[in-house]
């Protein structure tokens, strides 16, 4: 009968047990997951059972990790995601969250651009840790992503993005995520990219401050190459700051919009 072990299809005889599989494939594993649940006792396997053998602290090899991703995403989805290259302009509350969501789905390549360092006020909403204080955001985020999936191709540029360099920085990216705080910088990036002769798509954001309703964060398709996420009203100001929950909602709208574009779903 056929079962899956660490993402790979194998054939075993009837009445094969969990412990027999462990002994055969990874006898030094510490944890056994059967169909999504940890098991601590031996049992007989059934056809199409999914077994994951884990040794604590061990990094799966590239093929093993990819096969596990495929089992979650299906081969068609994974193949398209793996081929995609996405640029992220700004690695703050939006950009750091978008990057991590895209890393978790196994995006092929990320181009990460920011000129800033991690400082204490960033920790209220951005995906950094105390140990990253004083480190360039590009390098800190690259380190975090490599802890999630060391096989993603990550290109970093510790630069200030302008209308003069944005197209060169994101030359390889099919989709650019605009993740700036400054409205002027947002407009400059969007206008520069959309007025160029390439076919790059921009996923922008505006309005995610405060603790207003989740449901006011929306994704709008402005045209074939431009999407905008947010409530388009609540920008950061005194008494209405940027806070982790709502910023992360907007960021994951952006990430899911990127995924939908990759998959050929062009409507919101």
Domain coordinates of the chain in residue numbers?
2-58, 77-262
pLDDT band at 239 (very low <50, low <70, confident <90, very high): confident
pLDDT band at 265 (very low <50, low <70, confident <90, very high): very high
Average pLDDT over residues 131-148: 97
pLDDT band at 203 (very low <50, low <70, confident <90, very high): very high
Average pLDDT over residues 74-85: 93
| Residue of 224, 223, 228 lying closest to 257 (CA atoms) | 228
pTM comes to 0.89
- Show Cβ contacts of residue 19 under 8 Å, excluding neighbours closer than 6 positions: 42
- Specify the residue for token string 């884990």: 54
The CATH number given to 77-262 is: 3.40.50.720
pLDDT at 162: 96
- Specify the residue for token string 């998959």: 263
Average pLDDT over residues 43-57: 92
Please identify, in words, the CATH class of the domain defined by 2-58.
Answer: alpha beta
Whether 89 and 176 have beta carbons less than 8 Å apart is answered as yes
Whether residue 170 has pLDDT greater than 90 = yes
Sign of CA dihedral 212, 218, 222, 228: positive
């Amino acid at each position: 009968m056929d079962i899956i072990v660490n993402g790979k299809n194998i054939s075993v005889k009837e009445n094969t047990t969990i412990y027999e599989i462990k002994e055969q494939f990874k006898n030094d594993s510490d944890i056994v997951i059967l169909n999504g649940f940890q098991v601590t006792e031996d049992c007989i396997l059934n056809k199409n059972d999914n077994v994951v053998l884990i040794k604590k602290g061990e990094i799966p090899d590239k093929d093993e990790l990819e096969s596990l991703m495929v089992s979650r995403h299906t081969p068609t989805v994974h193949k398209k995601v793996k081929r995609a290259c996405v640029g992220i302009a700004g690695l703050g509350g939006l950009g750091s969250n978008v990057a991590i969501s895209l890393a978790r789905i196994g995006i092929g390549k990320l181009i990460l651009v920011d000129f800033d360092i991690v400082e204490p006020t960033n920790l209220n909403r951005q995906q950094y840790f105390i140990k990253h204080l004083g480190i360039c955001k590009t390098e800190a985020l690259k380190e975090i992503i490599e802890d999630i999936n060391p096989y993603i191709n990550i290109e970093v540029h510790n630069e200030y993005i302008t209308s003069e360099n944005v197209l060169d920085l994101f030359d390889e990216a099919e989709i650019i995520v605009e993740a700036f705080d400054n409205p002027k910088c947002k407009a400059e990036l969007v206008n520069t990219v959309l007025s160029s002769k390439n076919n790059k798509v921009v996923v922008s954001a505006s309005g995610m401050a405060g603790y207003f309703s989740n449901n006011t964060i929306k994704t709008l398709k402005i045209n074939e190459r431009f999407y905008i996420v947010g409530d388009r009203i609540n920008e950061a100001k005194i008494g209405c700051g940027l806070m982790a929950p709502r910023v992360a909602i907007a960021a994951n709208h952006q990430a899911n919009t990127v995924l939908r574009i990759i998959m050929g779903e062009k409507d919101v």
